[in-house]
């Protein structure tokens, strides 16, 4: 009697090991895909937050210097989608913002509104001509003044970003006190 030594694997053993390997591969693939989606959603959220901060900073810097009597929105508590104003500025180059007759020299009219091809860009215009895109991807931009505090301009910005089913909305509100 001769005994044969067993060499190799049986078909059942190969099928079981292949099924285990496929299962492990599927779990790894799903985990990596979920991590990638999480990364992309987080990146979109951070980009949205950055856009909001940049827009709010630019709006605040320009508005804080504005002369309140030049603001285009009334102090009636209503939300408006655009704002225009002027800031005191040395327009004749003599180093002072008050001319010889005691009149305050004012800049060209500055305005902020949503514009662009999709209406999602906050645009800063000078005398009606767009001169700078302040932020992109903004879904709402609103301004308001209250009768009780006419020197204060409230600003609300909203950004909606995301990928596929993962949408997120980030909002930012601030108040800016303008000059007398």
The answer to the question of residue 23 being in a domain is no
Evaluate whether residue 18 is within a structural domain. Answer: no
The number of folded domains in the chain is: 1
Is 64 domain-assigned?
Answer: yes
Structural tokens at position 52: 């909001």
Q: Give the whole-angstrom CA distance, residue 27 versus residue 12.
A: 23
Secondary structure (DSSP) of 135-161: ESSEEEEEEE--SS-TTEEEEEEEEEE
pLDDT for residue 91 is more than 80: no
Q: Give the CA count within 13 Å in the CB-facing half-sphere of 33.
A: 6
More confident residue, 107 or 116: 107
pLDDT at 37: 83
Mean pLDDT of 80-95: 87
Residue 167 domain-assigned? yes
Q: Are the C-beta atoms of residues 70 and 105 closer than 8 Å to each other?
A: no
pTM above 0.85? no
Of residues 40 and 29, the one with the higher pLDDT is 29
In a domain, 1, yes or no: no
Domain that holds residue 71: 30-177
- Cα-flanking dihedrals φ and ψ of residue 114, to 5°? -85, 135
Q: Is residue 129 part of a domain?
A: yes
Residue 6 lies in a domain: no
Furthest-apart CA atoms within the chain: distance in Å = 126
The answer to which of 48-52, 63-67, 128-132 has the lowest mean pLDDT is 48-52
Are 143 and 30 in contact by the 8 Å Cβ rule? The answer is no
pLDDT at 12 over 90: yes
Query: What radius of gyration, in Å, describes the C-alpha atoms of the chain?
Result: 30
Residue 100 resides in a domain: yes
């Amino acid at each position: 009697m001769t005994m044969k030594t067993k060499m190799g694997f049986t078909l059942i053993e190969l099928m079981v090991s292949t099924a285990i390997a496929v299962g492990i591969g599927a779990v790894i693939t799903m985990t990596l895909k979920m991590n990638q989606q999480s990364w992309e959603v987080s990146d979109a959220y951070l980009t949205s937050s950055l856009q909001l901060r940049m827009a709010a900073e630019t709006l605040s810097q320009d508005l804080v210097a504005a002369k309140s009597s030049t603001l285009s929105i009334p102090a009636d508590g209503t939300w408006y989608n655009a704002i225009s104003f002027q800031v005191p500025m040395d327009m004749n180059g003599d180093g002072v913002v008050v001319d010889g007759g005691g009149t305050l020299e004012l800049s060209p009219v500055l305005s902020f509104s949503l514009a662009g091809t999709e209406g999602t860009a906050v645009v800063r215009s000078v005398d009606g001509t767009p001169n700078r895109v302040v932020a992109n991807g903004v879904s709402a931009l609103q301004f308001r003044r209250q009768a009780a505090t006419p020197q204060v301009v409230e600003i609300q910005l909203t950004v909606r970003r995301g990928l596929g089913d993962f949408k997120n909305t980030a909002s930012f509100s601030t108040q800016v006190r303008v000059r007398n």
